[in-house]
């Protein structure tokens, strides 16, 4: 019983831990958007998204200019520069960092925390749409010789496994937003 009571008493601290966790993830991932390899890595998601592809100049050409993670092929980098890949990534990264700070500031200010929580949930929801719009989120059919080759739904690729985890971010954002809303209603 003592453990249950202790857990119940710590609930507000766990909300703050969630705020800090979201902040760490958002600032880290947002900060990485300033690097070429990360901007190259999000190109398939953005190029295939009806919600974001308009940020690129030639989204339909991204497959011809993909760099492997950490690879620096000059002609591909030049294409990404002209395509708007890097400038979009910088703006997206800055936005993600701001959302992280808003969520963290919910420890001290419920209005900012509410905004941060809702933006976190909204961003995660948009990210989850990539499971529908981005072919790279599913294991491709590579024509294996076994009759039970595993590809397509439900076999998530590395990109798909990265995206599906945003369900947790969406839930965390909603939990934070609801905690802030509850406190705002009490005031």
Q: What is the pLDDT of residue 143?
A: 75
Sign of the torsion angle spanned by Cα atoms 72, 75, 76, 80:
positive
User: In this model, does residue 144 exceed pLDDT 80?
Assistant: no
Contacts of 139 (CB under 8 A, 6+ apart): 150, 151, 152, 155, 156, 157
Distance CA 25, CA 164 (A): 15
Note the pLDDT tens digit of each residue in 20-79.
999 999 999 999 999 999 999 999 999 999 999 999 999 999 999 998 888 889 999 999
Q: Are 116 and 104 in contact (CB under 8 A)?
A: yes
The confidence score (pLDDT) of residue 148 equals: 63
For the stretch 153-162, pLDDT in tens is 888 999 999 9
**Using one digit for the tens of pLDDT, what is the confidence trace for 80-95?**
999 999 999 999 999 9
Residue 147, pLDDT score: 65
pLDDT at 181 over 80: yes
54, 46 Cβ separation under 8 angstroms: no
In angstroms, rounded to a whole number, what is the distance separating the alpha carbons of residues 76 and 58?
13
Would you state the pLDDT for residue 146?
65
For residues 175 and 187, give the distance between their C-alpha atoms in angstroms, rounded to a whole number: 19
Q: What pLDDT score does 71 carry?
A: 85
Cα–chain-centroid distance for residue 150?
Answer: 26
The pLDDT assigned to 135 comes to 92
Q: Tell me the C-alpha to C-alpha distance, in Å, between residue 103 and each of 34, 74, 169.
A: 21, 38, 12
CA proximity to 44, closest of 130, 154, 167, 120: 130
Residue-wise DSSP of 16-57: HHHHHHHHHHHHHHHHHTTSHHHHHHHHHHHHH-TTTGGGSS
Q: For the segment 100-125, what is each residue's pLDDT rounded down to a tens digit?
A: 999 999 999 999 999 999 999 999 99
pLDDT at 87: 97
pLDDT-derived band at 163, boundaries 50, 70, 90: very high
Tell me: pLDDT of 19 over 90: yes
Which of these, 157, 139, 30, lies nearest to 90 by C-alpha position? 30
Regarding predicted confidence, which is higher, 143 or 23?
A: 23
**How far, in Å, CA of 26 to CA of 36, rounded?**
18
């Amino acid at each position: 019983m003592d453990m249950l009571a202790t857990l119940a008493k710590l609930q507000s601290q766990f909300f703050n831990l969630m705020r800090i966790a979201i902040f760490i993830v958002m600032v880290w991932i947002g900060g990485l958007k300033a690097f070429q390899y990360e901007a190259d890595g999000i190109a398939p998601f953005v190029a295939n998204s009806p919600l974001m592809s308009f940020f690129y100049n030639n989204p339909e050409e991204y497959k011809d200019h993909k760099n492997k993670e950490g690879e620096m092929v000059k002609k591909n980098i030049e294409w990404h520069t002209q395509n708007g890949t890097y400038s979009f990534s910088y703006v997206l990264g800055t936005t993600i960092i701001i959302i992280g700070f808003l969520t963290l500031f919910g420890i001290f200010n419920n209005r900012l925390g509410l905004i941060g929580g809702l933006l976190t949930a909204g961003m995660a929801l948009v990210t989850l749409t990539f499971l529908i719009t981005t072919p790279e989120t599913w294991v491709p059919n590579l024509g294996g010789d076994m009759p039970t080759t595993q590809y397509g739904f439900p076999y998530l690729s590395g990109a798909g496994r990265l995206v599906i985890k945003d369900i947790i971010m969406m839930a965390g954002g909603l939990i934070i937003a609801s905690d802030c809303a509850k406190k705002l209603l009490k005031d």
